[in-house]
Chains A and B, each alone.
Chain A
C-alpha cells in the first residue's frame, strides 16, 4: 500500500514539474533521495549496504528505454539473516520507485536482473530489507543516454501484439556443479508498460499509464519471487533470477496490469532434480 501511495505522490510531483519549472534545472539543484526515503520508506534509517546488496548497471544508459540492472545479495552463507525484499529506486525518473521485489522465504534468490527506463542523469538505489527488519542501501550513478534514444516505445504496434504473451526459460548455470540445486530462470511478459507520462503535444493531455503492477512467480505452490512494478520497468518486462529448486515439477507466473488484466502461465520445469 505505501508503495502505491509513494508512486502516486511521485507522479503528482512530476506533473507539477512538467507544468512549471524545467525538470533539468530542478535535477541539478536538488537531491531527491531524502524525500524518496520519506515517501517510499517512511523515513526508516538506511544502513550501508556494501556487504548486503550489490547493484550493477552500465555507467551510461545506452538505450534510455532498456537499461539492464542486476541486483545481487551479498550475505555470507553462515549469516542468520535473509533478504526479505529489494526495492529499486531511480531517483530522477518521473516515477522513481521502479520495483519492489519480495523474495520467497525458501527460494534463496540471490540474483535478480531486469531492465528499466532511465530518463535523466541519476543515482539508482537498491534498498534491501533483511529479516532483522533493517534496511540496507547501495547505489550506482547512471548517465542518461544521448541522441535520439527515448524511454518511450520503439515499435508501438508490435508492443500491442505482444500483450499478455508470457515466456519462461531455464538456464544452466555454468559455474555451478551438477550436484547443486541452484537454478537460473527468466520470465518475459509481453506488455507495452506504457509510462503514460508523455504529454500529447497536440491535445496537451497526458497519455494514460498502462503497465504491469504485479507479478508473482511460484515453483509448485512455493513463492519464488514477487514484483510490485512501476512505470520505470521497460516494455515487455523481463525478470531473470537465480533460485534454489525445491524439486518442483512446475513453474507458475501470474501478472496483473493497471487495466485489471490478469496473465497467467504454467511451465514444466526441465530436469527438476532433487
Chain B
C-alpha cells in the first residue's frame, strides 16, 4: 500500500509540470474586432507581482491558422496567453511575431516553441537579442526573481522582415513592416487589413510615457508613414486600444517637445546631465511613469541631437 502510494506520488510529481501548464489560467483578452484578441497590460514596470505582464499582447485568428503578436514579459504570461488562444481557437499557431527585442514583449516566447510555429521579427532583431539578451536576463532576475526568469529563453526569429512581409492565415493576410530605428532599432508593426487593426508595438504609446531606445529623430520621421497606414484602430504597445490615427497625437507632442527642449539645451552649451533634469518637464502631468523614463529619454536624445 505504502509502496503503491509512493509510486503514485512519483507519477504525480512527474506529471505536475504538465498539469500546471495545461491548467495555466487564461490571460484576460478582449475581442477588439472579429478574430482580433488583445490583452491590455498594466501600466507599470515589470515586477515579480505583475509577472512582467505590462505590454499589450494579442493574437489574430484566420481561417487556417493563428498568429500571436508579442508573448509578454515572462514564460508564465506566455503560457497564459497560449491558454487564451486555445480557448478561442484550435487552429495551429503558425506564427509568433515579436514587435521588437524588449523583454516585456518577448520573454514569453518559450511558451510557444513547437513544431510548425515560426518566430518572426525585424531583420535587426537577432542582433539586438544577441547584444542584450544576457543583460536582460541578469537584470530582470534581480527584480522579478529566479522562478519567473529561470525559464525564460532568448528565442531569435527564424523569419526575418527586411522591409515588408505578408503572412497568410487563411483568408486573412497580415502586413508586417520593418521600421528604421525609432522606438528601438528593430521595430515591427503588424496590420490586419480585414479588420483595419494595426498592432503598432512600441511605435505607439498611450498613457504610458513613450520610451526612446532607438532614435528620437528616426521616430519623429516615422510618424508620417505611420499615420498613413489606413487603420481604424491601433493596438499600441502600451495603453488602451484606440481610434487611428488620433491615438498618435499625445506621443507626437511628447517627442516633439523633447526634441525641441534638447536642441535648446545643446545649443546653449548645457551638459548632458542638465537634459535629464529639464527636458520635456512640461509633459510630466500628462504621462504615467514619467519619472521612470523621461530622464533616460532625455539622456539618450541628447547624445543623438548633439551630433546635428
Interface residues, chain A, with chain B CB atoms under 8 Å away:
18, 22-24, 58, 62-66, 68, 70, 113, 115, 119-120, 144-158, 162, 165, 167, 169, 171-172, 188, 190, 198-202, 207, 234-236, 238, 240
Contacts and interface: CB of A to CB of B under 8 A. Distances in A.
A255 to B, nearest CB: 16
Given A62-B296, A236-B307, A155 B130 contact: no
Given A68-B271, A144-B139, A147-B293, A58 B276 contact: yes
Interface of B: 45-46, 102-104, 124, 126-136, 138-139, 141-143, 154, 156, 181, 184-185, 211, 213-215, 218, 269, 271-273, 276, 292-293, 295-296, 299-300, 303-304, 306-307
Given A58-B276, A146-B143, A155 B181 contact: yes
Nearest to A184: B269
23 contacts: A63-B300, A64-B135, A66-B303, A113-B272, A113-B273, A144-B139, A152-B131, A155-B185, A156-B124, A157-B185, A165-B307, A171-B269, A172-B269, A188-B307, A198-B132, A198-B133, A198-B134, A200-B130, A201-B130, A202-B126, A202-B130, A202-B156, A238-B303
Contacts of B143: 146
B303 A236 contact: yes
A146 B135 CA distance: 11
Contacts of A162: 307
Contacts of B303: 66, 115, 234-236, 238
A233 to B, nearest CB: 13
B137 to A, nearest CB: 9
A148 B211 contact: yes
A137 to B, nearest CB: 23
Contacts of A65: 300
A152 B296 contact: no
Contact of B139 (A63, A66, A146): A146
A22 B141 contact: yes
B184 A156 contact: no
Given A66-B300, A148-B102, A154-B181, A22 B271 contact: no
Given A24-B138, A150-B136, A66 B299 contact: yes
Contacts of A152: 128, 131-132, 135
A23 B138 contact: yes
Nearest to A205: B130
A201 B300 contact: no
Given A62-B296, A156-B127, A198-B134, A147 B185 contact: no
A145 B304 CA distance: 19
B142 A24 contact: yes
B77 to A, nearest CB: 16
Q: Which 5 A-B pairs have the closest CB atoms?
A: A152-B131, A62-B296, A148-B102, A200-B130, A150-B132
A193 to B, nearest CB: 12
A147 B181 contact: no
B185 A156 contact: yes
A65 to B, nearest CB: 8
Contacts of B141: 22, 24
B102 A199 contact: no
Nearest to A152: B131
B149 to A, nearest CB: 10
